[in-house]
């Protein structure tokens, strides 16, 4: 209805999603998306369970190589009046990142491609992921690395804009880049244990695909010589629950062992139970 007020947070989130979608259609965006798809395919192929969720970035099919029987793709982006685009990209749920419509300890895998960067409160969104994951469940996070050539060019562009320049930024104006080490600290506070971390896209921040392809030789060398300076990173972390109780056969075996009679030797050298 025309009389309804416009939610500024929803409007800002929608503009950020559109900015990221437009940037992914550019040569550096397609280059990054190719690397992210390859990494995600390798990361989730051998993760087993029953329920998996991808939240955000429907342009990336983060669960296509995963074999869990129940897989959902969700987005907090406004699907529009008909929702045709999101249906075409396979989105089945629409929800906020900090209010997932799942019970606690109900998911085995959650994939977050650039989701925390677009979230209104990324730390709260990560706590929500911790809530819905089962013990030993896994989260896979992909994000831009501010300590990279791409991140440096983005910061220089931001400084020039504050000085009055109208030059376009290299990366999309979508949220705030969350650094790799900062993310690890957040995961540690939420009792996650990082299993794997990987960086990629070491090529210079160039806008033409022809020049990006000429610098592809930097990928192997960057992964070997300066691995933390890739334009993007991927983190795989597992949810650890301290003080878990043993159940089933393991618990009965432990109780049985604890009730075994103690053998004591008296002064005459005789064994007495």
Question: Cα–Cα distance between 58 and 7 in angstroms, integer?
Answer: 23
SS in 3 state form for 103-148?
CCCCEEEEEEECHHHHCCCHHHHHHHHHHHEEEEEEEEEEEECCCC
Instruction: Supply φ then ψ for residue 33, to 5 degrees.
Output: -65, -35
Computed on alpha carbons and rounded to an integer, the radius of gyration of the chain in Å comes to 24
Note the pLDDT of residue 245: 55
Which residue from 133, 128, 64, 110 is spatially nearest to 236, judged by alpha carbons?
A: 110
Contact criterion met (CB below 8 Å) for 229 and 147 = yes
The model's pTM: 0.81
Question: Cα–Cα distance between 63 and 45 in angstroms, integer?
Answer: 8
Instruction: Supply φ then ψ for residue 169, to 5 degrees.
Output: -75, 155
Q: Which CATH number fits domain 8-272: 1.20.140.10, 3.40.50.150, 3.40.470.10, 3.30.360.10?
A: 3.40.50.150
The region, left, alpha or beta by phi > 0 then psi within -120 to 50, assigned to residue 164 is left
Q: Mean pLDDT per segment of 10 residues, for the chain of length 273 residues?
A: 49 77 93 96 95 93 94 78 60 84 96 93 95 97 94 88 82 84 95 95 92 91 88 96 58 48 46 44
Burial class (CB in 10 A: 0-12, 13-18, 19+), 32: buried
Give the residue carrying structure tokens 């989701």.
115
Note the pLDDT of residue 167: 77
Cite the DSSP H helix spans in the chain.
8-24, 27-44, 84-88, 115-118, 122-132, 149-162, 180-189, 209-214, 217-225, 248-258
Residues near 255 by Cβ (< 8 Å), separated by ≥ 6? Answer: none
């Amino acid at each position: 209805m025309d009389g309804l007020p416009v939610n500024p947070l929803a409007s800002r989130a929608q503009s950020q999603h559109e900015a990221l979608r437009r940037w992914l259609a550019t040569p550096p965006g397609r280059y990054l998306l190719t690397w992210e798809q390859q990494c995600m395919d390798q990361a989730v192929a051998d993760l087993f369970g029953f329920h998996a969720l991808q939240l955000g970035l429907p342009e990336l099919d983060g669960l296509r190589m995963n074999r869990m029987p129940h897989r959902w793709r969700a987005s907090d982006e406004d699907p529009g009046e008909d929702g045709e685009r999101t249906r075409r990209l396979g989105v089945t749920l629409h929800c906020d990142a900090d209010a997932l419509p799942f019970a606690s300890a109900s998911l085995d895998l959650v994939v977050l491609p650039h989701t925390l960067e677009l979230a209104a409160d990324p730390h709260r969104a990560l706590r929500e992921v911790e809530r819905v994951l089962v013990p030993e469940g896994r989260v896979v996070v992909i994000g831009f690395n501010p300590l990279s050539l791409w991140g440096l060019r983005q910061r220089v562009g931001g400084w020039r804009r504050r000085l009055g320049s109208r030059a376009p930024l290299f990366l999309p104006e979508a949220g705030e880049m969350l650094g790799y080490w900062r993310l690890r600290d957040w995961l540690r506070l939420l009792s996650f244990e990082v299993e794997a971390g990987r960086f990629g896209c070491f090529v210079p921040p160039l806008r033409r695909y022809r020049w990006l392809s000429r610098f592809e030789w930097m990928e192997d060398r960057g992964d070997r010589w300066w691995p933390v300076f890739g334009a993007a990173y991927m983190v795989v972390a597992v949810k650890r629950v301290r003080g878990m109780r043993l159940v089933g056969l393991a618990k009965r075996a432990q109780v049985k062992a604890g009730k075994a009679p103690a053998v004591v030797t008296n002064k005459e050298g005789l064994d007495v139970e």
